[in-house]
Amino acid sequence: MVPINLKDLLGGRYRVVLDESARHEPGAKKDLWYFMLLCRYGSIYPFSARLLAFHCTARGIRTRLHGDHPRLEIRNLSDDGEAIFLFRLDQFDLVAEYARPRRKRRISGEERDRLAKIGRDHHFKPNSTAINATKTPQNGATSDDSTQTMAETEIGDSGGHRPHFIEGEAR
């Protein structure tokens, strides 16, 4: 049985994502059963070759949807406000009003060019370095002072207080 292909039917308007478990299954990225629409109040996923399921995670939405459309089949109803509604593809717009699926972002060509230009201005330059190698250490030591011990550094940085550990001294 081949499920409803969310990517082909609704991928132009809504963000179709892979279920979390698809990362752990070989070949799951091509399997239509793992595709779903994330919604504000749950998720919509294929249930069979003819039905979709809406996993509702909000008690108020569940109550309103069931009250307004009692003919929608409820597959699972729990006490904590969650429910699974089954519906046909022609009822998608009706359920989408309650579920509020996430839409794809759409930008114009001009906006895309403007954003690309902004990105280029702040992009990593190949000859630049993240850390300046000639920079002196923050405690003011130079390369000649590399013999300074950890204890001396702590005394210098701590305002003259005695450190907990000084090299060569017993505790």
Residue 147: pLDDT over 80:
no
pLDDT in tens, 114-145: 988 888 877 766 665 555 555 555 655 555 54
Cβ(158)–Cβ(150) below 8 Å: no
Between 52 and 75, where is the model more confident? 52
Q: 145: how many CB neighbours lie within 10 A of its CB?
A: 13
Q: Tell me, yes or no, whether 117 lies in a domain.
A: no
In a domain, 154, yes or no: no
Q: In what order do the strands lie in the sheet with 51-56?
A: 16-18, 35-39, 42-46, 51-56, 83-88, 73-77
* Domain around 36: 6-99
The predicted model gives 87-93 an average pLDDT of 92
Percent residues over pLDDT 90 in the chain = 23
Residue 136's pLDDT is 54
Residue 86 has pLDDT above 90, yes or no: yes
Say if residue 148's pLDDT is above 60: no
In a domain, 27, yes or no: yes
SS (H, E, C) 1-34: CCCCCHHHHHCCCECEEECHHHHHCCCHHHCHHH
115 within some domain: no
CATH classification at residue 14: 3.90.1150
Q: What is the pLDDT of residue 81?
A: 78
Residue type, 69: H
pLDDT value at residue 168: 57
pLDDT of residue 5: 87
pLDDT attached to residue 21: 81
